[in-house]
Chains A and B, each alone.
Chain A
Amino acid sequence: MPSLSQRGAAFDPEGSLPPSRLDFHPGDDYFTHPGEPFGEAALGLAIGPLGMRLEGLSGSQAAALRERFRPFVTDLPAAYVTIALRNAGVEGFLRLASAGGGPEVYRLESRASGRRLVLWSYEFAGWLDAGAGKALLALARPEGPLFDRGLENFLRVLTASFILEQGGFLLHASGVVRRGKAYVFFGPSGSGKTTVTHFSPGDTVLSDDLTLIVKRGEGTYEAAGIPFGLAHHRTPETSGSFPIASLNRLVQSPVVRREPLGRARALGEIAASLPFVMQETRQAARAIEIVGRALDGIPAHRLHFRKDDAFWGVVEEA
């Protein structure tokens, strides 16, 4: 019985909060009286079908984010989700396990509280309510790498949760658009997601890490990038979404070939590559239901590839 496990990636603590022996796990009472907003500025983002409105930003924060998320910045229409940013008022939440400075698995804690999903990590704590379209995010720093990382990590989780409400899902995958069609390459860290983007010159790279699978109609799905790639991943070149040609589970091999994945196997492989939404049973059940439906309309393959561009000849055959 094969077992596919999600494992956390090694976390480089550079730029992290000072080591401390004690974690601060925020209870509901912490969010009853959240800290002050950073300012009165707001920013609109369009991530696939998700409209986001970030409120409580300072002017400089809004200007920096407008530049960083540029392809995704939009006017402020009626947002699908409103995210209220607050100054956390504390030095941090989770602390590095050791003072030695060695790598540790990035820790992200979560719990359900009524309809809310509460999240906290080193530099942020927040909650999101998919039904109400609201979220609150408290950040320990007003600027710099810790502000960026806390904001983007929270928005990644938020995107993964909210896209399920729209019948889509966020996949740990790279996405490349060639001749108007999106090819999605997924698998665990080290499987080659970034590598395939390097062998796609002239193509549009949606992501080398997280690709959004968007439901556009019954049985019709498109792929899009998200701009929350942290410092070490590419920012998507476009906010557009593109019809999906295929989903490809990457396997490194000297012989380039691909084979169809049966639906159950494809579902298992994809479920193991769904970030953030598999920790809670109801959400996990919803996620695999949605992926199962998507597989009715999207062909899935196991792609054996080596580190050159020969895989494109196989992938584009169909």
Chain B
Amino acid sequence: MDLQAVLAKNPNAAYRIYDGKATVVLPDQAEVDVLNEVGSAVWDRIDGARTLAQILDSVVEEFEVDRDHALSDMLEFVAVLREHRMVR
């Protein structure tokens, strides 16, 4: 996946973040998902403006994790988000 890609949340998704974890509801798919803290940080930053590279940099800085490891996790996570049609 191109790190210069810009993703946007599915406009039909309703979500709230409590204690750093996002609960995401997709009404048209009758699905509720709870994201872990890093996943929630990625989700929160997906705004239709930031590139994946910018989101990666921000997450690496906030969670002080290895960049290569974070990249692998983020790409896997974003693939799941796309599969669930949570992002476009």
Residues of B1-39 whose CB lies within 8 A of A: 11-23, 25, 27-28, 30-36, 39
Which residues of B lie under 8 Å from residue A298 when comparing CB positions? none
CA distance A282 to B25 in the complex (A): 11
Classify chain B's interface size.
20 to 34
CA distance A2 to B24 in the complex (A): 11
Determine the residue in chain A with the shortest Cβ distance to B77: A1
CA distance A289 to B33 in the complex (A): 15
CA distance A285 to B22 in the complex (A): 13
Instruction: Write the nearest CB–CB distance from B34 to chain A, whole angstroms.
Output: 4
Which residues of B lie under 8 Å from residue A295 when comparing CB positions? 18
Residues of A131-182 whose CB lies within 8 A of B: none
Determine the residue in chain B with the shortest Cβ distance to A292: B16
- Among A201-209, A226-234, A262-270, A304-312, the stretch in contact with B: A262-270
CA distance A5 to B39 in the complex (A): 19
Taking a contact as CB atoms under 8 Å apart, the answer to whether B12 and A281 are in contact is yes
Encoded as 1 (CB less than 8 Å from any A CB) or 0, chain B from 30 to 59 comes to 111111100110000000000000000000
- Among A22-30, A58-66, A271-279, the stretch in contact with B: A271-279
Taking a contact as CB atoms under 8 Å apart, the answer to whether B32 and A262 are in contact is no
**Which residue of the partner chain, among B14, B27, B34, B84, contacts A268 with CB atoms under 8 Å?**
B34
Encoded as 1 (CB less than 8 Å from any B CB) or 0, chain A from 284 to 302 comes to 1100110010010000000
**A7 touches B (CB below 8 Å):** yes
Encoded as 1 (CB less than 8 Å from any B CB) or 0, chain A from 1 to 35 comes to 11111110000000000000000000000000000
Which residues of A lie under 8 Å from residue B16 when comparing CB positions? 267, 288-289, 292
**A280 touches B (CB below 8 Å):** yes
Query: Which of A2, A262, A268, A282 is most buried by chain B, counting CB atoms within 10 A of its CB?
Result: A268
**B80 touches A (CB below 8 Å):** yes
CA distance A87 to B52 in the complex (A): 57
Which residues of B lie under 8 Å from residue A268 when comparing CB positions? 23, 32-34
Query: Which of B23, B30, B33 is most buried by chain A, counting CB atoms within 10 A of its CB?
Result: B23
**Which residue of the partner chain, among A3, A262, A278, contacts B33 with CB atoms under 8 Å?**
A3
Instruction: Write the nearest CB–CB distance from A51 to chain B, whole angstroms.
Output: 29
Which residues of B lie under 8 Å from residue A263 when comparing CB positions? 18-19, 21
Determine the residue in chain B with the shortest Cβ distance to A282: B14
Which residues of B lie under 8 Å from residue A284 when comparing CB positions? 14, 25, 27
Which residues of A lie under 8 Å from residue B19 when comparing CB positions? 262-264
Instruction: Write the nearest CB–CB distance from A177 to chain B, whole angstroms.
Output: 29
Residues of A within 8 A of B (CB): 1-7, 262-265, 267-268, 271-272, 278-282, 284-285, 288-289, 292, 295
Nearest 8 pairs between A and B by C-beta?
Answer: A264-B21, A285-B14, A268-B34, A263-B18, A284-B14, A267-B23, A4-B32, A272-B32
